[in-house]
């Protein structure tokens, strides 16, 4: 009997423990001295602050305007471990506005707790005095505050309710952020008469993912008219969704990352349709409908289809004497690129008409490139706008026509049976080239078919070649020459640097990275103003350092990898390089006069993987008084999955180690 009783007690405690693991570890105001005891959390022993619990709940309610509203409740508790975590005490809440109505922030409470002489002392936020409102743009405002009396060791928590009449703004939820989270939970009550698309992402699986249902009753009052109010009651099945992720590590930006927004664990929602018993309505629409709407819109395609006869005074002089449609297109593109300044590189719609863009010579990326499309069309060159999302803005979804996922406009021009993609918003960018930010996957041509496209980084290979010759002159001093053809995008960056700082600054940078004391002469840059091509750099150099008994010379002369770009021991999201690459460095040199080779690095050939998607070649040899050296790194793709990270990190570790090796020359006795 005693054993049976002990078993039942143990079973009861087990289920209590199991139930406790299913609930949030925090409740507003429930703070004890024990909560301050933990100084280091297992989820991240180096964390400056930790989110103890982050909980959100969204539901739909009937309102007094004859329709429905969204109600979002948010609770969050955080533990500040040291002063480097103070920024977690700055809180911002975004509110949408359409100009006449604005989402409402209600029931805000925020409290700082400190442990003083063994007792919990709380400091409440003065809501009226210390909550500030900023306007971000015409559609978004933010209310923000900072917790009072924050110290090392403080525990802070807030809660608020946000009400919205904009059903398209069902609150998204991020389970991950800049600080680790012990408990992150989102709950959603969704009636069946509203259809939403759920968009989830992130590498961390849900610890709890649950759906139940209950019967719900929705009271809708229409009191907007004069006289008595109409009251309706709508009964419907309601889906209860619950998502929980525990012990979520922080997500930090590392090298070769498009944007953390692409990889953070989160869930988003897009309103797709109204269902019975409401009058059915397709909200999301289709790609053809989106394309049709955009081309009819005054703030987008209408500027292309209307009569633009006023453009003749600009276009006709530009194309006069052009020998082909391609030359006409190139002249029009160069005119727009060189005569208009882009004021915003993240923009989809026009804020001014094209005539005003021409008048002011300023415009957003959409305004400049829609002007380009209009001018090409005026010359009977087929030109369609293309909408995309830049790398820093995030991915788009080819399945769903979600216009808010796009933030950029380029032009697709069909000239002489060839398609060109053009962006006239970027200075010194050549005809047929796009900025690297545009290579982010799915894009759409805004034409009748709304053609789907892929513009991704694997389409690009940046090829760089460097050749160095070094000999002994008649005085026995080492002299040399360097010829280098950088890849197109490095060439573009160098053009910008020369434009902004001049060639002398570029020479100074070359000297710094050379790894030896040199004097540069006969410095030239070819094709500096031929934007469709890469540049060529040539110069002669003389070694000016003292001749020591032993000379250490790195044969890469500053061109090699000096550190591994992949420093973290782990990576939980893809490596996203801007392009595939192929870099070759060749050196031919004479052994310095009166010296012999004491040490020569060993040759190496290293494969990235068995599929041959990359390799590192390092070859060095001596023949008499001459040394030949060649280093080549080739990566045939630009994106690598998290499970390939260790391979990539080890590959570059060996590259860095090998490219740091030196040739040792010893003076003859």
Q: 118-127 long-range contacts, Cβ below 8 Å, gap at least 24?
A: 118/33, 119/33, 120/31, 120/32, 120/33, 120/36, 122/31, 123/148, 123/149, 124/148, 125/158
Higher pLDDT, 252 or 381: 381
Mean pLDDT of 173-193: 96
Domains of the chain: 14-282 (2.60.40.3140), 287-455 (3.10.620.30), 461-667 (2.60.120.1130)
- Could you tell me the end-to-end alpha-carbon distance of the chain, in angstroms, rounded to an integer? 97
* Across 398-415, average pLDDT: 95
**Poorest-confidence range of 18-27, 84-93, 443-452, 520-529?**
18-27
How confident is the model over 421-427, as a mean pLDDT? 97
Indicate the pLDDT class of residue 394, thresholds 50, 70 and 90.
very high
pLDDT at 227: 59
Tens digit of pLDDT for each residue in 148-182?
999 999 999 999 999 999 999 999 999 999 999 99
Please report the pLDDT score of residue 7 as a whole number.
47
pLDDT digits (tens, 9 = 90+) for 555-598: 999 899 999 999 999 898 999 999 999 999 999 999 999 999 99
Statement: residue 18 has pLDDT above 50: no
How many residues does this entry show for the chain?
Answer: 669
Residue with tokens 């790398």: 391
pLDDT at 349 over 50: yes
Phi first, then psi, for residue 21 (nearest 5°) are -70, -15
- Residue 50 pairs in a beta bridge with 79
Retrieve residue 277's tokens: 């018993």
Question: Has residue 279 got a pLDDT over 60?
Answer: yes
For residues 87 and 72, give the distance between their C-alpha atoms in angstroms, rounded to a whole number. Answer: 24
Q: Is the pLDDT of residue 537 over 60?
A: yes
Identify the sign of the CA torsion 252, 257, 262, 265. Answer: negative
pLDDT class of 19 with cuts at 50, 70, 90: very low
The reported pTM is 0.88
Angle at the Cα of 11 from the Cα atoms of 8 and 16, rounded to 5 degrees: 125
Q: What is the percent of the chain where pLDDT is above 70? A: 96
């Amino acid at each position: 009997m005693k054993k049976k009783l002990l078993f039942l007690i143990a079973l009861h405690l087990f289920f209590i423990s199991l139930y406790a693991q299913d609930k949030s570890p925090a409740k507003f105001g429930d703070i004890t001295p024990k909560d301050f005891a933990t100084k280091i959390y297992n989820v991240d022993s180096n964390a400056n602050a930790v989110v103890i619990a982050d909980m959100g709940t969204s539901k739909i309610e009937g309102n007094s305007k004859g329709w429905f509203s969204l109600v979002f409740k948010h609770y969050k508790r955080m533990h500040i471990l040291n002063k480097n975590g103070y920024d977690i005490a700055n809180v911002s809440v975004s509110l949408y506005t359409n100009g006449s109505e604005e989402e409402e922030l209600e029931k805000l409470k925020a409290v700082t707790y400190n442990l003083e002489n063994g007792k919990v002392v709380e400091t409440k936020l003065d809501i009226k005095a210390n909550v500030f409102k900023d306007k971000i743009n015409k559609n978004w405002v933010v209310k923000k505050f900072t917790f009072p009396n924050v110290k090392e060791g403080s525990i802070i928590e807030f809660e608020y309710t946000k009400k919205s009449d904009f059903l398209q703004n069902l609150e998204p939820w991020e389970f991950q952020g800049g600080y680790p989270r012990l408990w992150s939970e989102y709950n959603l009550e969704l009636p069946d008469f509203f259809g939403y698309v759920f968009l989830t992402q992130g590498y961390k699986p849900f610890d709890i993912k649950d759906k139940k249902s209950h019967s719900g009753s929705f009271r809708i009052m229409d009191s907007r008219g004069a006289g008595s109010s109409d009251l309706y009651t709508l009964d419907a099945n309601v889906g209860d969704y619950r998502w929980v992720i525990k012990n979520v590590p922080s997500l930090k930006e590392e090298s070769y990352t498009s944007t953390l927004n692409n990889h953070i664990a989160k869930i988003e929602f897009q309103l797709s349709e109204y269902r019975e018993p409401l009058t059915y309505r397709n909200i999301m629409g289709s790609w053809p409908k989106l394309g049709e709407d955009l081309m009819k819109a005054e703030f987008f395609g209408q500027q292309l289809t209307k009569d633009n006869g006023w453009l003749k005074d600009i276009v006709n002089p530009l194309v006069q004497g052009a020998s082909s449609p391609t030359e006409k297109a190139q002249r029009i593109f160069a005119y727009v690129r060189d005569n208009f300044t882009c004021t915003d590189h993240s923009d989809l719609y026009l804020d001014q008409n094209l005539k005003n863009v021409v008048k002011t010579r300023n415009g957003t990326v959409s305004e400049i490139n829609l002007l380009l499309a209009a001018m090409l069309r005026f010359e009977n060159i087929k030109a369609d706008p293309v909408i995309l999302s830049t790398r820093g803005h995030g991915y788009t979804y080819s399945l769903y026509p979600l216009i808010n996922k796009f933030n950029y406009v380029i032009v697709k021009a069909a000239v002489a049976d060839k398609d060109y993609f053009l962006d006239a918003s970027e200075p010194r960018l050549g005809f047929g080239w796009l900025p690297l930010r545009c290579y982010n996957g799915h894009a759409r041509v805004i034409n009748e078919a709304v053609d789907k496209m892929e513009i991704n980084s694997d389409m690009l290979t940046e090829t760089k070649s460097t050749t160095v010759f070094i000999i002994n002159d008649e005085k026995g001093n080492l002299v040399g020459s360097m010829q280098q053809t950088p890849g197109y995008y490095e060439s573009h960056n160098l053009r910008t640097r020369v434009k902004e700082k001049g060639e002398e600054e570029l020479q100074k940078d070359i000297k710094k990275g050379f790894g030896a004391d040199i004097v540069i002469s006969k410095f030239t840059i070819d094709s500096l103003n031929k934007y469709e091509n890469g540049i060529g750099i040539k110069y002669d150099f003389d070694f000016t350092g003292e001749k020591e008994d032993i000379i250490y010379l790195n044969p890469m002369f500053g061109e090699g990898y000096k550190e591994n770009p992949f420093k973290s021991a782990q990576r939980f999201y893809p490596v996203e390089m801007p392009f595939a690459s192929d870099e070759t460095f060749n050196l031919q040199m004479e052994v310095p006069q009166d010296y012999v080779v004491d040490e020569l690095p060993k040759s190496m050939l290293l494969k990235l993987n068995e599929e041959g998607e990359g390799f590192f070649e390092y070859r060095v040899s001596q023949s008499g008084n001459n040394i030949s050296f060649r280093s080549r790194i080739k990566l045939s793709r630009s994106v690598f999955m998290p499970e390939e990270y260790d391979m990539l990190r080890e590959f570059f570790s060996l590259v860095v180690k090998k490219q740091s090796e030196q040739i040792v020359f010893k003076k003859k006795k």
